[in-house]
Structure 1
C-alpha cells in the first residue's frame, strides 16, 4: 500500500469538500479544442448521416453541445448498434476511433443495422485531458438513476428509447500511464482513502459484463484487434488491472451495478474496449484503428449470430 499522501489537494484521510473540488477545478486548463477536433468532424458527416443534439452542458462560461450521429435511413426492423466514445474525455482514441468508424466504415452496414454513435460523451474533460467532469465526478461510474454526472444523464436519456432494442453496444476507452500517475492518486485523495499502487497493462484488452459475459463475442473482437495492435498479457497474478483474466485480453466487471456506460442498455452483446496509447509498440493511429476494428468485429459477430 502506498501511504505517501503527496497529492497536492486535500487532507490525507479526509474526503474532498466543495473547497477542494473548486481548487482542483481551478487547476484544469484547456489543452485542446472540442469544436476543432470533434464538432468539425461531425459537421462533415452531416451529408451522410442524421446528426442530432441530445443535450448541452453549461459549465459557467463554457458551453458544450452534445451530438450523436444516426443512420440516415433508420429502420425499426433492423438490429441497432450503439457506439460511445469519450466517456472519459482524456481517452483520445475512443473519440477519434468512433469518428473514424463513421467516416470510413459505417457505409458497410447501411441497410444491415441502425447505427447510433455518441463520439464524445465528455467534452469538458476532452478539452482538459481529464477523466472526471467539472464536478470531479467520474462519468463512467455514473450511469445510474438520478446520475450525478450530467454527461451520463444525457446518454441515459438518449438511449432510453432503445434500451431494450439494442443488439450491440461498444464503449470505447483507453488505459493510460496517467491512470497510475494522476487519476488513481486523485481518486484516493478525493475519497480520503489510501492510494493503492497498480500496474498498467501493455496492450489492448476488453471488459465484458460478468452478468452476461458473451465469451465468444469478446474473443471475436480480440482476434480482430490482434491484427492491428498487441493484446495485453496478464500480470504475474494472472490479472489485468487487479481483475482475473478470463480469456486472453478479457476481464469481466458487473457493469450495471458499477454504473458503467456499457450497462446503459440491455444490449445482447456489449463490451468496453481498452487501448494502451502509451505503449512504445503502438502509435496514435494504431490506437484509433484498434477501436475501429473492435467496433466492426462486434457488429460482424452479432450479425452472424442473427443468421
Structure 2
C-alpha cells in the first residue's frame, strides 16, 4: 500500500471494523511459509540437548499449531530464570530464528548458571502468513493481560506463570520492518477507525526499555554487543526513534505492562525488547539472526554479572 494514500482497502474511513471487515481481511491472508518445516523441525533437532514441551495448541479452522518451548535439561530451582521469547509478531523472522540460533549455538554456555526457557515462535499462524496479527485481527503483542483476547498471549502467560516472580531476565526478540509503515500501521488505523499518519522506520537496531523500571546500563550493554554485528539506529531530527524519544543511543521506553506487551509477562529486573531492521541494505538475514542471538547473550551476561 502506498502511504501517500492513507485509506486502507478494507472498511470505511473513520469507522471501526465489524465482523464483515474482519472476515474480508482474513480472506486476503495467504499461507506463505511452513511453521512445521521451518520452525518445528529445528526445535525437534534440539531434543537431544534440551527439554522441549508443548505448552499449548492453537486451532484456527482446520489448522492446528503446537506451541513449543525449549528448557534447560537440568532445571535447578536454585538458579535464576532467563526467559527468551520470539515470534510474538509472526512476520518478524529473525525473532524466531535468532532465538533458535541462540539455543543451538550459545545456550549450553549458560548451563549450571541459569535456567533457560525459550518460546521461539509464539504466533505460528502469523509466522506462516507473514503477519503481525492472528486470524481474528488481534495483535498478540498488545494482548498480554488477564482474559486476553489472543490465544497466543494467554498460552504464554500460562506457561510463564510459575516463574513470573523468579525470572531475572526477559528478552523479547522483534523486528521493525518497512511493512510496518506500508501495511500494518495502515491496517491498524483502518481496523480501529482512526486516521493513519505516515511516519518513519529507523534504519538499524534499537531496544525498548520498561519506562516503569528502566535499566539504562543494562540496555547499553546490549547495544554495545550488538553494534559489533549490525548498526544501531540513529535518532531522527526530533531526537526520536519510531515516534518515541530516544532516552539513550538506540533505546526508547514504553510502559510495558500498560500496553500489554510481551516483555511485561514476568516481574524480571531486566527486561528488553529488541528491534532488528531486516530491510536495511546494510544488513543480511544472517546478520539479523546473529544480532538477536548476540543480544540474548549480552543480556544474560550483564544480568549474571549484576546479581
Tell me if both proteins adopt one fold, taking TM over 0.5 as the criterion.
yes
Q: Does the alignment pair 1:195 with 2:196?
A: yes
Structure 1, unaligned runs of 5 or more: none
CA deviation map 1:201-247 (0-9, x unaligned): 00000000001110000000000000000000000100001100000
Gaps of 5+ in 2: none
- Say if 1:31 and 1:129, in contact at 8 Å, map to a contact too: yes
Q: Contact conserved, 2:7 with 2:190, CA < 8 A, in 1?
A: no
Structure 1 segment 1-307 matched on structure 2, within 5 A: 4-306=5-307
TM-score in terms of structure 1 length: 0.98
Is the 2:71–2:115 contact (alpha carbons within 8 Å) kept by the matching residues of 1? yes
Deviation of 1:6 (Å): 2.8
Could you tell me how far apart the structure 2 residues matched to 1:85 and 1:106 are? 15
RMSD: 0.8
Q: Distance in 1 between matches of 2:191 and 2:6?
A: 11
Shift of 1:5: 4.1
Tell me how far apart the structure 1 counterparts of residues 304 and 280 of structure 2 sit (CA, whole Å). Answer: 33
| Cα pair 1:94 1:174 within 8 Å, conserved | yes
1:7 is displaced (CA, Å) by 1.0
Q: For 1:303 and 1:233, how far apart are their aligned partners in 2?
A: 29
Hey, what's the Cα distance between the residues in 2 that align with 1:5 and 1:97?
A: 33
Give the Cα separation in 2 of the matches to 1:304 and 1:5. 48
Partner Cα separation in structure 1 for residue 4 and residue 131 of structure 2: 24
What's the CA shift for 1:287?
0.2
Give every structure 1 segment of 4 or more consecutive aligned residues whose post-TM-superposition deviation is greater than 3 Å.
2-5
Task: Tell me the secondary structure at the aligned position of residue 222 of structure 1.
Answer: helix
SS in structure 2 opposite 1:45? coil
Classify the secondary structure of the residue corresponding to 2:45.
helix
Deviation at 1:137, TM superposition (A): 0.3
Cα displacement (A) at 1:44:
0.2
By how many angstroms is 1:4 displaced? 4.1
| 1:269 shift after superposition | 0.4
Query: Is 127-136 or 4-13 further displaced after alignment?
Result: 4-13
CA positional deviation for 1:181: 0.2
